[in-house]
Chain A
Amino acid sequence: MNYNWNWGLLFVEPYFGFLLGGLRTTILIALAAWVIAFVFGSLVGIARTVPLAPLRLAAATYVELFRGVPLLVQMFLWFFVFPEIVPRDWGRWLKRDLPDPEFWTAVVALGFYTACRVAEQVRAGIQSISAGLRDAALASGLTLPRTYRYVLLPLSYRLLIPVFTSEFLSIFKNSSLALTIGVAELTAQSRQIESFTFHGFEAFTAATVLYAAITLTVIFLMRVLEARMRIPGMLGGRADR
């Protein structure tokens, strides 16, 4: 294996700018998609636990649909198919007037895909709280929405922080699929450097290191959050870490 090393390449323009811009785009996609995933996923997850059959069914269908189709296919559906099947004016707006359509399509696709995974976690979290607590809350005169608001949700969300951490990490990794519809995120930029310079080793190492840095940062921040949110009197955290 003979290879002509040139690590300095990563720190000169335009390649340094490629990497920084890619990192920035990756972070922006992941954060924006997480907002959708967290809010919508929570609603779907809660809907799966309420005593109202049609709502439960609708939420379960959503989860099955979005879990059964590969994310890449969903990305293509949002990007190529969605503008064709909505009313013509909307389609034109999506294709022509929406600023940065690739970026926002990636955010929407990733957001609604991750929402189905968040929904499953939220459902599991709510169901892990003993039925006695729910009954006690209802018996004490709280309405069902208030039972959720003051008893079920605060408890389950604090228990769910570790699972949310791994979903949040997945969203950063999955944001790389945006490159298939032409978003210049981190993986795309490292590939770009490789094809411009033939220095794939340096380019992909840079991307790998940056993803690892994202992972470590997220784990650190979530651990701080977890420590602050720990429920007194409960065994927090996991045994294996």
Chain B
Amino acid sequence: MSDFDFGVILRALPFLWQGMQLTLLITALAMAGGILLGTALAMARLWAPPPFPQLAAGYVNLLRSMPLILVVFWFYFLVPLMVGRPVGAFPSALIAFTMFEGAYYCEIIRAGIQGVARGQLAAAQATGLTYLAAMRYVVLPQAFRAMVPVLLTQSIILFQDTSLVYVVGLHDFLTAATVVAGRDGRVVELYAFVAVVYLVLCVAASLGVRRLQLRFGK
């Protein structure tokens, strides 16, 4: 422990920053895509005519019973096969994260909408609002408030999960650190640094979510 060498980290910073950019990019894209997919799935589960609710539920339950690494492998294998040519690790990893997180976002959104008391919808309709207007002005605003903190917390988990692109060899933050650690023979410094960076970012983000929750909360 005495020969802890900060210089190694300093010299590797530009390379690590490139890795962090990829991590942030995957997180942002998979979050956007995942929330879109999740919204579509939640709507299918709640309001679509059969067989769509069953199909959406089947999709969500299947994805939620699988480990993320297996999903990453699935799409790493499937995407080039469907496209008919090699596409590289980035698109298939991005699709894998979007499809996987979509299942989790779906459940959060569905729970948020279902959590709004049934009486609210009935009361809104009784005052003369149409079903869509009642949804738009009464149910969804309340549901949205309830689910935003949970969606953000899930996105922090997504940010941590992106480290799994390691298994398909994409140079995200962790993999970049692994490359440097292997090259310089400095495992302790690099992994300690990675852990501290993730810790600081995640604790800061979850404090932010907690404050938001206090301001937003009922």
Contact = CB atoms under 8 A, between A and B. Distances in A.
Interface of A: 1, 3, 64-65, 67-74, 76-77, 80-81, 84-85, 169, 172-177, 179-180, 187, 190-191, 194, 200-201, 204, 207-208, 211-212, 214-215
A80 B203 contact: no
Interface size class of B (residues with CB under 8 A): 35 or more
Contacts of B20: none
B194 A73 contact: yes
A89 to B, nearest CB: 15
Interface in B132-179: 160-161, 163-164, 166-167, 174, 178
A194 B181 CA distance: 29
A190 B77 CA distance: 12
B180 to A, nearest CB: 13
A208 B66 contact: yes
The interface residues of chain A, by DSSP majority, are classed as: helix
Contacts of A68: 198-200, 202-203, 206
B195 A69 contact: yes
A190 B72 CA distance: 13
A179 B69 contact: yes
Contact of A173 (B67, B81, B188): B67
18 contacts: A1-B82, A1-B84, A3-B81, A68-B206, A69-B160, A69-B198, A70-B161, A72-B164, A73-B174, A73-B191, A73-B194, A81-B187, A173-B67, A177-B164, A190-B73, A201-B77, A207-B70, A211-B66
Contacts of A214: 65
A149 to B, nearest CB: 33
A173 B73 contact: no
Interface of B: 1, 62, 65-70, 73-74, 77-78, 81-82, 84, 160-161, 163-164, 166-167, 174, 178, 181, 187-188, 191-192, 194-195, 198-200, 202-203, 206
Contact of B191 (A76, A200, A211): A76
A177 B69 CA distance: 7
Contacts of A200: 73, 77-78
Contact of B62 (A67, A85, A173, A212): A212
Contacts, number: 104
B70 A176 contact: yes
Nearest to B1: A85
Given A211-B67, A215-B65, A191 B73 contact: yes
Given A64-B203, A84-B187, A187 B67 contact: yes
Contact of B70 (A67, A74, A76, A190): A190
B65 A174 contact: no
Given A73-B191, A81-B187, A173 B66 contact: yes
A215 B167 CA distance: 24
A173 B46 CA distance: 28
Contacts of B188: 80-81, 84-85
Contacts of B84: 1
Given A64-B203, A76-B178, A180-B166, 5 more contacts: A69-B199, A80-B181, A177-B67, A190-B73, A211-B70
Contact of A204 (B74, B187, B191): B74
B49 to A, nearest CB: 21
Contact of A70 (B65, B167, B198, B206): B198
A175 B69 CA distance: 10
Nearest to B81: A1
Contact of A81 (B161, B178, B192, B202): B192
A92 to B, nearest CB: 16
Residue among B69, B178, B181 with most chain A CB within 10 A: B69
Nearest to A176: B67
Contacts of A173: 65-68
Nearest to A71: B160
Nearest to A86: B1
Nearest to B189: A81
A167 to B, nearest CB: 14
Contact of B195 (A64, A67, A77, A180): A77
A3 B198 CA distance: 41
A187 B164 contact: no
Contact of A72 (B174, B181, B203): B174
